[in-house]
Each structure stands twice: as C-alpha cells, then as structure tokens.
Structure 1
Amino acid sequence: MSPQRRTALSTLLPGKHTLPAVTDPAEHAAYVLTRHPGSTLATTAGAVLVHQGRLLRQALADRPEALALDGWASADLHLISHRGHDVVLCSRLGAGAPATALVTEQLTALGVPAVISLGTAAALVPELHAGEAVLCEKALRGEGTSRHYLAPGYFAHPDPHLTAALAAALDACGTRWRRGASWTTDALYRESAAEAQLYARHGILTVEMEAAALFAVGRHRGLPTAAAFAVADSLVNRTPRTDSPDTTAALEQLLTAAFDALTNTSVSPAPPGADTVVSRHNEQREASGG
C-alpha cells in the first residue's frame, strides 16, 4: 500500500461529523417498542448516569419503589420518583466514552429530555483532594468518540442551563464544590505525568473517561447534558484510589443534586399524587398483593 493510501485510511473523512449515518438510534427505539409496547422516556424529567456500583446500590436501597426497565437500553435502567416526577437512573453502562455515547443515543431515541452524568475523577492539581465535588464546565476531547459528532476542536461543552441548574442544586444541598474543566480520555492506563502537568497549567482540574462524549452527543442531538465528579484519587504525586468515605459522601450529594436539578428544570412541578409511571406501578403492585 502506498504512503498516500495509508495516510488516507488512517484519518477520518473531512467533515466526518456532518455526514449522515447509516445506522439510526431510532431503530433501537423501534425495536424496544416491539418488545415493550408503549415504552417511552419522554414523560420523565431526565436521566442520571451513575458510573459507580456503590452509588447505585445505595440509591436503590433508599428507593425500594424503583421500577426496573429491563431491555430498554444497553444498560440497567430504573425509574424512580423524585418530587412527584419520574427520573431515570441509568447504571452498568460500561466505562469510557464509547459506552456513554451509545447509551445516551439510546436514551435520546427513547425520548429522554436531559442527561446528567455522575462519576469519579482523578485530580490534576494538588489543591483537589478525595471527596471534593467538581462541576464540569467543559471537557478536553482526549477520547476518540467526540470527533464523530463535533467539528475538530479542543473542548466539548455541556448545556449551560442544565449546568446552572445543577450548580444551584449543589448549593441548595450544602455541597462544597468547585467549577472547572476536565480532561476526558479513553486510555486510563496511558495517562502520563507530562499530559497531567500540561493540562493543569491550562486550568484543567480533573481527568475522567466520559464527559466529552456525553457533551458531544448532547450537542449533536440537541439534548441538554451536564456532568459532575467526586474526586477519588490524584495524578499529582500519584495517590491511588482508596474508596474514601468522603468520595462516597460526595457522590451521594451529587446524586441528590442531579435529581433536584432535573426536577427543578421540568416544565412544571407535579402535584401531590400525580399519575407517574412509578406511582402506577406501585398501585398495580399493591392491588396484586405484591
């Protein structure tokens, strides 16, 4: 193969992000409908992506009424009720940008109106410690997914209104948090000190694996997205993850704030006793003696 052909095949087509795709996430939604008639997430306040198993277990333990939506997406989905609204809790979607993009596409096709991603991150600056919360204002595109959705550039950006709602909810919860940029990379075990130092000098606070892809899909699909992290470890004078109780506490605060942000930005608050999917399920369970 000639050098010219090798070069051509090693790069994306110019304007790749503008090209129509052969596959369409609407096909996924149509397939789900054949197995689960009436399946839609359009009536929910939004979805929260949860990337840590311990946070999922605690969330479900606190909400025994959660309704599993088996087979709706390439992840586990549960419907919960928060302030009279249905909210989707999305978990076990896999690590990294491609998994987040795939599941977010499926949720969008099913009609979900907004998505907030919560996870852990490593600090790039010495003043960030385990258990501190960071609201992501933009994500450095160090992964390979966002270029399929966005024009070439350094950063992917969340929805400003949803991010502002999440910031307000964090304040209302009494959470100590800071706002900053994050570096998203697919290659967890190829994060170098040189990169960490370079990005820290440019004001980037954390490194994680999903935010840039989430924001890229959101921008491409017109879906409001936001992300926040609990610091779990550090790349500065390498501090490995220790499952700090402070990190767990921060994740729980982030989850509460995410639920509040989604329901506060809904069109209108649901009145007491509103007919939600979860409330209907509970009525059916009680009627059957379950």
Structure 2
Amino acid sequence: MSIHIGAKPGEIAETVLMPGDPYRAKWAAETFLKDVVCINQVRGMLGFTGTWNGQRVTIQGSGMGMPSLSIYANELIRDYGAKSLIRIGSAGAMQHHVKVRDIVIAMTASTISTPSRGFFKELSFAPCADFGLLEKAVAAARAKGTPTHVGGIYSADVFYDERPDLNEMMTRHGVLAVEMEAAELYTVAARHGIRALAVLTVSDHLLTHEALPSEDRERSFGDMVEVALTAAFS
C-alpha cells in the first residue's frame, strides 16, 4: 500500500483509467468490467480492479484538480507499476464546433501552473499525450461514430475562473476545451516514461452556456469509457 492508496501489491493493473469522481469510478467499473473488486477506499477515493474483454484493468478516482491527480498518478506508477494512465472525465467546450456530448481527445494540454512547475524553472514544458494511445483512441471513437475532436486543451488550476480575457485568447488559438487534470498527468507520465492520454466528454459549453443534464451524463460518458478501454488494449 502507498500513502493514499490502500491496495495490496498485485491488486492494481498496469492499465489504469482515472476519472476525477470516485463514484464515477464505481459506476464505470460496475458497468464495463467483470469480476470487479474494490481495491481502494482510502479517503473515499474509490478504486476497482476487474477485467474488460479478458484484459485486467483498474479504475481509480483521482480527485479534482492537478495536485490531487499528481498524488495518485505518482503513487500508481511508483508503488504499483502502472504503465498506462488514461484520464476519463468531463470538459467544457471552448469552440463553437465542439458540441455537448462530443468527445475530446487531448493531444496537448496547456496550463498556467501545475504541481510540476518547480521542476522546470524557466522552461516552458509542453505536456502531450502518448501518440500510440491517442491514435488508437481516435480510431475507436470513429468506429463508434461518436463526434470526436483531437487537439489542444487547457488544464485550469481553478474551477471558478474569473479570467474572460484568458478564455477569449484560448478560443482564438483553437483550444478545444478546458478541464483540470490532464497537463499534470501528461507531465508525470513523461517524467516516468509511461503512456498517458485524456479522453473527455463535453459536459458544458463556455460559449453557448449549454450543459448536459445530469440524467444524461452516464449514457454520454459511456462512449468515453469504451473509447479509453479500446485504446488501451487494441
């Protein structure tokens, strides 16, 4: 076990899906995996291991924001030998052609600040996805016929943002969507030499102010989970 994960050695798979919400981890595990076992309940951050199409996979909550994600990503890699980390979560669209319920696959993740900023000092590091995972995720999404967008996203370090000027600048530069974890995930994965990807469902829109009703979220998020699993094991 590690400081924040109570799993025993061998209970966590090499491939880990990481939703922010621990109850979304529970829903995804019960919906898509077989032979599911709860392997973590520390601080209520639920984690589950099971199989998908015969492949062993863990779904572990990461919490909200880059500091929380960084803790779980580091421990999953360092203490449990995770080799592929795929974030599955929600995002807010920042382009008119990106619609609510669409999937966004993050090629890069811009940010103002991450927990890893101190490592780089004056260097402006460019966090990016693993191309092999990204390529397979795009193919999986296209095979499902799910509207999908691939490109740069923004990982915010605050939820209640009061920088409309920054949002306007990102929209002008083609940033597809905003979320709160991917930039640190990509940075930690690069540091440890493992694969990482963020597959996101658009749950709301910063330009049109449309939002996905809560009762529709699970159905819409299902496509995202299937794309992530297919990418991991195809």
**Fold shared per TM-score above 0.5:** yes
Amino acid at match of 2:17: V
Work out whether 1:173 is the aligned partner of 2:144. Answer: yes
Q: CA deviation at 1:160?
A: 1.2
- Contact 2:29/2:59, CA 8 A, preserved across alignment: no
Q: CA deviation at 1:116?
A: 0.4
Cα pair distance change 1:202/1:142, threshold 3 Å:
same
What residue in structure 1 maps to residue 181 of structure 2?
Answer: 210
Of residues 182-191 and 112-121 in structure 1, the stretch that sits farther from structure 2 once superposed is 182-191
1:112 is matched with which residue: 82, 86, 94? 82
Q: CA deviation at 1:209?
A: 0.3
Cα pair distance change 1:149/1:221, threshold 3 Å:
farther
Question: More strand by proportion, 1 or 2?
Answer: 2
| Partners of 1:222 and 1:40 in 2: CA distance | 22
- Contact 2:26/2:46, CA 8 A, preserved across alignment: no
Amino acid at match of 1:159: D
Cα pair distance change 1:90/1:191, threshold 3 Å:
farther
- Contact 1:45/1:263, CA 8 A, preserved across alignment: no
What residue in structure 2 maps to residue 249 of structure 1?
Answer: 219
What residue in structure 1 maps to residue 71 of structure 2?
Answer: 102
RMSD, matched Cα: 2.7
Cα pair distance change 1:188/1:71, threshold 3 Å:
closer
Residue-pair matches, total: 231
Of residues 213-222 and 124-133 in structure 1, the stretch that sits farther from structure 2 once superposed is 124-133
What residue in structure 2 maps to residue 11 of structure 1?
Answer: none
Structure 2 unpaired stretches of 5+: none
Q: CA deviation at 1:28?
A: 3.3
1:147 is matched with which residue: 106, 110, 117? 117
TM-score, normalising length from structure 2?
0.86
Amino acid at match of 1:78: F
Alpha-carbon deviations, 1:40-85, whole Å to 9, x = none?
64xx350000124664343243246211113689832211101211
Q: CA deviation at 1:192?
A: 2.2
Identity, in percent, stands at: 20
In our comparison, the structure showing a higher alpha carbon Rg is 1
TM-score, normalising length from structure 1?
0.71
Amino acid at match of 2:147: R
SS in 2 for 1:87: strand
Cα pair distance change 1:148/1:161, threshold 3 Å:
farther
Amino acid at match of 2:91: A
Of residues 145-154 and 203-212 in structure 1, the stretch that sits farther from structure 2 once superposed is 145-154
Work out whether 1:89 is the aligned partner of 2:63. Answer: no
Amino acid at match of 1:46: T
1:163 is matched with which residue: 128, 131, 134? 134
